[in-house]
Copies of this chain bind each other. A is one copy, B any other.
Amino acid sequence: MADALYQELADRIGNLIRGGTFASGSRLPSVRRLSREQNVSVTTVLEAYGRLEGLGIIESRPRSGYFVCPPKVVNGQLPRPAAAPKRPVAVRSPEIFQAVMEAATDPGIVPFGAAVPGDETIPAKRLTSIASSLARRLGPGVYQYSMVPGRHELRAAVSRRLLSAGVQVTPDEIIATQGASEALALALRATTRRGDVIAVEAPTYFGILHLARDMGLEVLEVPMDASEGMDLNALEELSGRHPIKACVVQPVFQNPVGSRMSDTAKQRLAEIARQRDFAIIEDDLYGELGHSGTRPMAVAHYDTDGRVLLCGSVSKCIAPGLRIGWIVPGRYLDQVKRLKTTHSLANPTLSELVVAEYFRSGAAERQLRRISSLFAAQCARMREAVLREFPEGTRVNQPRGGFVIWVEMPEGYDAEKLAAEALQQGIGLIPGTIFSASCRLQNCLRLSCGSRWDERSEHAVRTLGRLASHCRVDDPA
């Protein structure tokens, strides 16, 4: 009977995991809580968890509890590092870009395009309640200018949050920005001049490429490993041959490949930057969205002489529409202050105060646990669906955080054609060429998994798979 009971419980939890209720990497209810909720003994729960652990479905971590293991890769391989030109290039931008971006927030389009978190991930009620209470309490103050460097409350809250990434800075070393976009733009302006060369990941977030083009910078593309991140041997070799001024990197949960650099690699990156005397622009946008629930160290943790400019925001983990980000510019503090004053003067004041209070209240921890699990589950579903529906030989990454996945179709497939045809069918996606300064990665694409997975999503991936099979480089347009 007891035997039947723990087996039954194990089955039930196993089904919830397969069904996505408990996502890959997420924490399971504590033994005590499950015993209470299911009205069974602690021993029964321990036996059920033990069985699932034996099957490799969950794992126990000392002093942390039980976690869902990542799914095994049964029918796919990780995408391969992208080939990249071994010299700096001026940035080109594919023609399809504007159409893809305009579809990004069209509610009629299946939202696999821009990396937008779904409505259900946004703690709207809580944010509104904080905003109302602040506006009542502070009156016109919440509508006045919040001049550079931004409200102290926000900078203090950010300095507390950054402790978990191993970064110890005072509020005075932080400048509030309008999202990470502005932080990245300020970082590039502070560290480079027209004609300079910067190193970027290949593939990299396309916003960096557009900024570089607009500022007249050349980019050196450094290959990425879908699991380990930027190839540091390549960076070392390339930076020896070309004088780079800054290296833009997303060390953890990289967009678009979802990789995570090891701590050793981060330390080595900081060391290379010191030797070659370049700045590191660290884009930490997804750092708090690790699928396993852990918050990795930032490269800034290994910085010894203020050459890392750490950029972050709440856009992917609380709400994008608040437009609140930050930059910790190290030795570039005064320059970034001056540039921020020049280019945008001030931030949305109420947003700054709302984020400060949201952090202060402790709500952010719960929010991050909740949505990291959600994103992990949605990425897993997307990955499975793509491997099932796309042409044979398609590779898909296994993101370790964030909510995008990177798809590498076999050579000869053309993701720009696919994106154009998908748009016709009401489905958004971003072709790989947009993530490449040299418009390579033609057979790759990024799919956002920020929104709720449902019937429409399943259907859309089926449609994409069908369309993909006809989208080859040689096919007539």
Mark A residues whose CB is within 8 Å of B.
Answer: 98, 101-102, 104-105, 114, 116, 119-120, 122, 124-125, 127-128, 131-132, 135-136, 139-148, 178-179, 181-182, 185, 189, 194, 207, 210-211, 214, 216, 315, 319-323, 337-339, 341-351
Most buried by B among A139, A321, A338: A321
| CB of A214, distance to nearest CB on chain B (Å) | 5
| CB of A93, distance to nearest CB on chain B (Å) | 9
* A182 interface neighbour in B143, B144, B146, B344, Cβ under 8 Å: B344
**CB distance B351 to A348 under 8 Å?**
yes
- Other A-B contacts than A101-B147, A145-B315, 13 sampled, CB-CB below 8 A, are A104-B145, A104-B147, A105-B145, A119-B139, A120-B140, A127-B143, A144-B321, A185-B343, A189-B214, A321-B346, A323-B347, A344-B344, A350-B350
**CB distance B323 to A346 under 8 Å?**
yes
| CB of A69, distance to nearest CB on chain B (Å) | 32
**CB distance B342 to A144 under 8 Å?**
no
* A214 interface neighbour in B114, B128, B343, B351, Cβ under 8 Å: B343
C-alpha gap A347/B146 in the complex (Å) = 16
Beta-carbon nearest neighbor of A209 in chain B: B342
Beta-carbon nearest neighbor of A210 in chain B: B342
| CB of A329, distance to nearest CB on chain B (Å) | 15
**CB distance B216 to A319 under 8 Å?**
no
**CB distance A214 to B101 under 8 Å?**
no
19 pairs from A and B in contact (CB 8 Å cutoff): A98-B338, A104-B145, A105-B144, A119-B139, A119-B140, A124-B135, A124-B139, A125-B139, A127-B143, A132-B132, A143-B320, A145-B320, A179-B344, A179-B345, A181-B343, A181-B345, A207-B342, A323-B323, A350-B350
C-alpha gap A122/B337 in the complex (Å) = 27
* A128 interface neighbour in B135, B146, B349, Cβ under 8 Å: B135
C-alpha gap A146/B214 in the complex (Å) = 22
**CB distance B131 to A344 under 8 Å?**
no
| CB of A359, distance to nearest CB on chain B (Å) | 16
C-alpha gap A145/B111 in the complex (Å) = 13
Most buried by B among A135, A338, A339, A345: A345
* Residues of B with C-beta under 8 A to A315: 145
* Residues of B with C-beta under 8 A to A101: 147-148, 341
| CB of A169, distance to nearest CB on chain B (Å) | 19
**CB distance A321 to B116 under 8 Å?**
no
C-alpha gap A399/B141 in the complex (Å) = 27
C-alpha gap A185/B182 in the complex (Å) = 13
* Residues of B with C-beta under 8 A to A189: 214
C-alpha gap A132/B132 in the complex (Å) = 7
* A321 interface neighbour in B136, B210, B338, B348, Cβ under 8 Å: B348
**CB distance B143 to A124 under 8 Å?**
yes
**CB distance A132 to B140 under 8 Å?**
no
What 9 pairs across the A-B complex have the smallest Cβ distances? A321-B349, A143-B319, A119-B140, A210-B342, A128-B135, A348-B348, A122-B140, A124-B140, A181-B345
Beta-carbon nearest neighbor of A347 in chain B: B323
* Residues of B with C-beta under 8 A to A194: 194, 216
| CB of A334, distance to nearest CB on chain B (Å) | 8
**CB distance A128 to B124 under 8 Å?**
no
| CB of A404, distance to nearest CB on chain B (Å) | 15
Beta-carbon nearest neighbor of A118 in chain B: B140
C-alpha gap A339/B343 in the complex (Å) = 13
**CB distance B346 to A179 under 8 Å?**
yes
C-alpha gap A140/B116 in the complex (Å) = 12
Beta-carbon nearest neighbor of A194 in chain B: B194
* Residues of B with C-beta under 8 A to A144: 105, 116, 119, 122, 319-321
| CB of A296, distance to nearest CB on chain B (Å) | 25
* Residues of B with C-beta under 8 A to A179: 344-346
C-alpha gap A136/B127 in the complex (Å) = 11
Most buried by B among A146, A214, A351: A351
* Residues of B with C-beta under 8 A to A140: 119-120, 122, 124, 319
* A142 interface neighbour in B143, B146, B321, Cβ under 8 Å: B321
**CB distance A345 to B207 under 8 Å?**
yes
